[in-house]
Chains A and B, each alone.
Chain A
Amino acid sequence: MIKLKDILSPFTAWNNVFKAPVTIKDPLNREAAPRYRGFHFNDIEKCIGCGACSMICENEAIDMVEVATVETTDGDSGLRPRVDYGRCCWCALCVDVCSTESLTMTNEFKWVSEDPEDFRYIPGIDEKPWDNRTEGWKKPAPNYEFNQLERVNMEMLGPEERSDSFVEIVQGYSKEQAEKEADRCIDCGLCVATCPAHMGIPEYIKTVRNENLEEGLRIMYETNPLPEICGRICTHKCETVCAMGHRGEPLSIRWLKRYIADQNPAEEYQRILHSNDIDTNDKKVAIIGSGASGLSTAYYLRVLGYQVKIFEEFEAAGGMMRYGIPSYRLPYDQIDKDVNYILSLGVEIQYNTKVGKDITLEELHEEYDAVFSGTGMHAGRSTKIPGSDHKHNYMAAGLLNKITKGEEIHVAKEIIVIGGGNVAMDITRSLARLQNQKYGEINILTTSLESEDIMPADREEVVEAREEGATIDPGWGPQEIIIEDDEIKGLRVQRCTRVFDEEGRFNPKFDEKDEKIFKGDMVVEAIGQGADFSYLKGELKDQLAFNQRGRLEVNEYFQSSIPWLFFGGDIIQGPDVIHGIANGHKAARGIDKYLQANT
């Protein structure tokens, strides 16, 4: 039965007649909430064009496009994201994943245009009315991260354990650690351009994630035949441009490379790299020096089928990698692993043969179709300050060489090292170990012209040297080695106020008023090394072109003005291992071209 109440009750709706309307008066100018996901804005200066936004976009709404105002440089692809609002779904994952936090979304949501093509634009480049808005979606904070900003820690021997031994410090990643570190990579590939050898870095890191380390080894050998060595002592310029480095720590690219090489056993290399039967042709190439560039040239020529022979001055292969770098950074057996694989392919090597002394370049030319020389920079440079001719003033390169050979060297109680590069750190840390072994204490001081912030040595080298007990006191210019009673007593230094002049040339200035004396009874100079070109003589030397700075001139294939003679490695570029490898690879291509053209 219908109740009267049910007929009257609905009329209570009439109450609303007396209520104010709830409609928004001016809906067109309603400001959206501060977190609103509206139109994109990109801080072009901050953006590095890594393309993470484009990768994460599930609608393929973001293209990476070239823009006129941004140049492609180290660490910046020069590309910028262009958003297609015909596809965008406003999820803001692109903002959350942005490696530099340059991309944001403003809270503007109104945009009228008659041309549909307008709705595809490059945020930050194409000017829009909302460019200066501060409100809108930004990556939430704190502890909200799509990127993994922290490195997986590398296990290392503690300072106590390592400061009296030459055992390798860095322990290497475990499988779990390596995969976790590899997971941090966002596959942008910005590092590839910076790597002198242009290694397939994202590709080999991917093989770590996918547990396909044999493929990883193959990828590495495409551009680098010394992965065990590079995996330990590469200057890892790639890591300086890593997209993760902008807000966190760059990937440990070097340690991942080492992990891949370490995990593949030497006896499997030929099978993995499909190198068990190389078709040998009848061309012969001689290589002078078995350093990074020589080995690299030898490897890439050998896989092309050439008969390759290396002439090495010392009794073992590796050049500076063996005779310059201490074994706590690069153990000899790891050098052997890389070298032996190259030799196993049929590359010959003749030890204890110094070209220019035991055999001449002309003789090589007669017997071989082409010659590559990577003789490196073994001759230490001196500051030539007063007192530097004292018998207890040494060159770092010579000492390191002797340490490798196991020869006895003079180790004083108080040592001063001059130099701020990696060689200075190498000799400092090596001598510290020897001091510790001999005297049970470390008393070594290293000083350099460059102040701490511009010291060329790798940061971790400086930190580790200090951990091991060495004193690093940078920013001083050596003036004189103080000698009393024919014994070294110390080094007088003045504060260095600048190293380079406005034009970027080496032109140090000192503050004479700020002077002090470092105490010590032995000085080691590690301010750089020079090349020994004594094997270039007579007619040959006259045919070679040198540039104004005294460097040999070579073309892009490292071919000198004598067509059959190629140069590479530290004497041309560097000094470091990875440039040597890159030079060698390119020189091998050049020699191949040269020999192909002359058949």
Chain B
Amino acid sequence: MNTTIEETLTSLESRFELKDIKQQRGDLVFVTVKKEQLISLLTHMRDNENFTHFVMLSVVDWIEDGVFQLSYILNNPEKHVDIVFRCMIERENASMESAHHLWKQVATYQRELYEMYGIDFPGSPRVHESFILEGWDDIPPMRREFDTKKYSEDTYFPRPGRESKDPKEHMKNKLYPDADK
């Protein structure tokens, strides 16, 4: 493991609870942290560990486990290493402390996550203003339970004349239609 990452993680371990440390590359590590500690951890990373570049905030919907995985990707631009902090939050009434005060662009990510996944970030500027989906009246569409295909079938109409045959079924109908009789 990269020495910067190692030192950073050692320094973090004394202050925060780190779980499931997974080294993906020499310069990229994934760490799971507790929801309550995340904001103070990010602040610490920015102010004391030189992870000043906030790369992105993403979310993964683990619907089967009933959790959202928030992934905060932080970068140390001097040492060229990344640490991704994973934070598992309840899927039901999902809510997370806002980090908009730490980096200016975070508010945009949080606004998008509220719109696309229904994750609330209380206090984040304009977080409830629609970002991309003005006039959307269905559930947040990036949630796994939202079925795009069904939505499109209900909303739009198919082009007539499209019909495809399965080779196996077609051969059965043509060559041995009585097999199951």
Contacts and interface: CB of A to CB of B under 8 A. Distances in A.
B181 A64 contact: no
Contacts of A73: 175
A202 interface: yes
A77 interface: yes
A50 B168 CA distance: 9
Contacts of B165: 63-66, 79
A79 B170 contact: yes
Best-surrounded residue of A65, A66, A192, A589 (most CB of chain B within 10 A): A192
Interface stretch (B105-113, B119-127, B156-164): B156-164
B104 interface: no
Nearest to A63: B164
Interface string A65-108: 11000001100011100001010000000000000000000000
Nearest to B171: A193
A84 B174 CA distance: 25
B162 A72 contact: no
Contacts of A66: 165, 170
Given A77-B171, A78-B171, A65 B176 contact: no
Interface in B133-181: 159, 161-168, 170-172, 174-176, 178-179, 181
B167 A198 contact: no
A358 to B, nearest CB: 36
Contacts of A78: 170-171, 174
A51 interface: yes
Consensus secondary structure, chain A interface: mixed
A589 B172 contact: no
Interface in A275-306: none
A407 interface: no
B167 A190 contact: yes
B161 A72 contact: no
Given A84-B162, A117-B161, A188 B167 contact: yes
Interface string A110-122: 0000000100100
A374 to B, nearest CB: 20
B168 A202 contact: yes
Q: Give the interface centre of A54, A62, A202 by most chain B CB atoms within 10 Å.
A: A54
B178 to A, nearest CB: 7
A62 B164 CA distance: 8
Contacts of A84: 159, 162
A78 B178 CA distance: 19
A65 B165 CA distance: 6
B162 A198 contact: no
B167 A63 contact: no
Query: 5 tightest CB-CB pairs across the interface, nearest first?
Result: A189-B168, A77-B167, A63-B164, A72-B174, A193-B171
Interface of B: 159, 161-168, 170-172, 174-176, 178-179, 181
Given A79-B165, A189-B166, 11 more contacts: A54-B164, A63-B162, A64-B167, A65-B164, A72-B175, A77-B170, A79-B170, A84-B162, A188-B168, A192-B172, A193-B175
